[in-house]
Homo-oligomer: A and B are copies of this chain.
Amino acid sequence: MRTFHFSTLPRVFSGACIVSKIEGDGPIGDCFDVVVGDDKMGLDSFEQAELQIFENAVRLSCHKSGLSTEDINCLFAGDLLNQIITANYGARNLGTPFLGLYGACSTMAESLLIGGAFVDGGFLDPVACIACSHFSTAERQFRYPLEMGTTSPPTAQRTVTGAGCLLVGRKLPPNPVYRHIALSGATVGRVIDLGITDGNNMGAAMAPAACDTILTYFSESGETPNDFDWIITGDLGRYGSELLFSLCEQKGIDLKGKHFDCGNVIYPPLEKFNCGGSGCGCSAVTLTGHFLPYLERGDVKRILFLATGALMSPTSSMQGESIPGIAHAVVLEHK
C-alpha cells in the first residue's frame, strides 16, 4: 500500500505564486500574485533571481495570512538546480527549519504529500510546501548555454520561471487566504522507465509514471474518476497528455472532461512554446494561482493533483541511461 488518508484533513490556508513576464503574459497571467519583469531581477545571476523568487513566495504566503516566517515550523522544498541550491539558500535566508526534497518536476506534489503527513501526524504545524524553477538556470544546467541560441524540437517544453508556495496546518490562522481547502489523501509514486532517451521529450518519459500513480490511487482507495471533478497533472505537455490519455484508456480509465495539465494551461498554444510548460515551478504556480481558487469557492469539490518528474541528470544521459519518471499524487477537497 502506498496510498493513505489524512484523517485530520490538514488545511491549505494560504498560498502565493510568483512568475516571470512570459508566464504573466500567458492565458492565466492574471492569477499570479507577482509578475517579475526582469528574469534577472536586477541581480548578478539568474540563480540569485531564482533564489529571490523562492524567498518572496514564502514571505508573501506568510504575509497574506498574517503570519511571519518564524511561525513556519518546517519548509518542505525543492528545485531543479544541482544540490537544490535555491531551496538551501532560501531556507538559510528565511531562517525556517528545512527538509530538502528532490523530485524534479514532481516536487510540488512531493512537498504537499510529506508536509501533509507531518501536519496530519501532529509532528510539525504549520508548514510551508514550495517548488521553484527558472528557465535560464535550468536551460544552461540541463541543456545548452542560453548564448548558443539553440532551437528546440516540437516535443520540447519550456521551463517555467516561477515559485509556488502553500501553507498547511491543522487549524486556520486568524486571517486565512483559503478557508475551504483540505488535503485528504495521497499516493507515493514509483519510478517508471519505458526507455525514453530524448531529453526534449520529457512528457513521454513522465506519462507512464502518471498513469501508474492514477491506477494505483484508484485501486488502493476504491474510488473512481467519477469521485473527482478534476484530475490535474503537472507538466506532461501536449504529447505527454495525449500519451497519458491512451495509457489510461488501455487500462479502462477515461480521463475525458476531467483532465488538465498545468504545462498546457500556463502558456498559449503557440508554436513558440512547443509542447507547453515544465519545471517544478510550473505545477506549483498553476495549482496555487489558477486551480485552488475554484476549490476554495466550491466550484469544484475534489481534485486529484499529480506532479510528474523526469529523474535524469546530464551525467546519466551522457552515460547512455534512459529517463525514468515519477508521479506523486495528493487529493485536495473543498471542505
Residue numbers of A with Cβ under 8 A of B are: 1-2, 4, 44-45, 47-48, 73-74, 78, 81-85, 88-89, 91-92, 95-104, 110, 113-114, 117-118, 120-124, 141, 188-193, 311-316, 319, 321, 324, 326, 328
Pick the 7 closest A-B CB pairs, nearest first.
A121-B121, A88-B311, A92-B191, A83-B313, A97-B188, A2-B97, A82-B82
Of A114, A118, A122, A311, the most chain B CB neighbours within 10 A belong to A311
Selected contact of A99 from candidates B4, B45, B114, B118, CB within 8 Å? B114
Check B83–A311 contact: CB distance below 8 A. yes
Contact (A82, B314) CB under 8 Å given A100-B102, A100-B103: yes
Check A97–B190 contact: CB distance below 8 A. yes
Check B1–A191 contact: CB distance below 8 A. no
Complex Cα–Cα for A319 and B81 (A): 14
Check B85–A311 contact: CB distance below 8 A. yes
Residues in chain B near residue A113, CB distance under 8 A = 99
Least CB separation from A328: chain B residue: B99
Least CB separation from A320: chain B residue: B44
Contact (A99, B188) CB under 8 Å given A82-B313, A83-B104, A321-B89: yes
Q: Nearest Cβ in chain B — how far from A210, in angstroms?
A: 15
Check B324–A92 contact: CB distance below 8 A. yes
Least CB separation from A113: chain B residue: B99
A89-B321, A100-B326 are known; give 4 further A-B pairs, CB within 8 A. A95-B190, A97-B188, A99-B328, A141-B315
8 contacts between A and B (CB under 8 A): A4-B124, A83-B102, A85-B321, A89-B191, A89-B321, A98-B188, A98-B191, A100-B103
Selected contact of A1 from candidates B73, B92, B190, B324, CB within 8 Å? B73
Q: Nearest Cβ in chain B — how far from A315, in angstroms?
A: 6
Least CB separation from A121: chain B residue: B121
Check A324–B45 contact: CB distance below 8 A. no
Residues in chain B near residue A188, CB distance under 8 A = 73-74, 97-99, 124
Of A4, A95, A314, A316, the most chain B CB neighbours within 10 A belong to A316
Least CB separation from A96: chain B residue: B190
Residues in chain B near residue A114, CB distance under 8 A = 99, 114
Residues in chain B near residue A122, CB distance under 8 A = 4, 121
Residues in chain B near residue A121, CB distance under 8 A = 117-118, 120-123
Complex Cα–Cα for A316 and B90 (A): 13
Residues in chain B near residue A81, CB distance under 8 A = 313, 315
Residues in chain B near residue A84, CB distance under 8 A = 102
Residues in chain B near residue A78, CB distance under 8 A = 102
Complex Cα–Cα for A124 and B188 (A): 9
Contact (A193, B103) CB under 8 Å given A47-B319, A315-B85: no
Residues in chain B near residue A98, CB distance under 8 A = 188-191, 326
Check B104–A2 contact: CB distance below 8 A. no
Complex Cα–Cα for A73 and B89 (A): 32
Check B88–A99 contact: CB distance below 8 A. no
Contact (A316, B124) CB under 8 Å given A100-B101, A190-B95: no
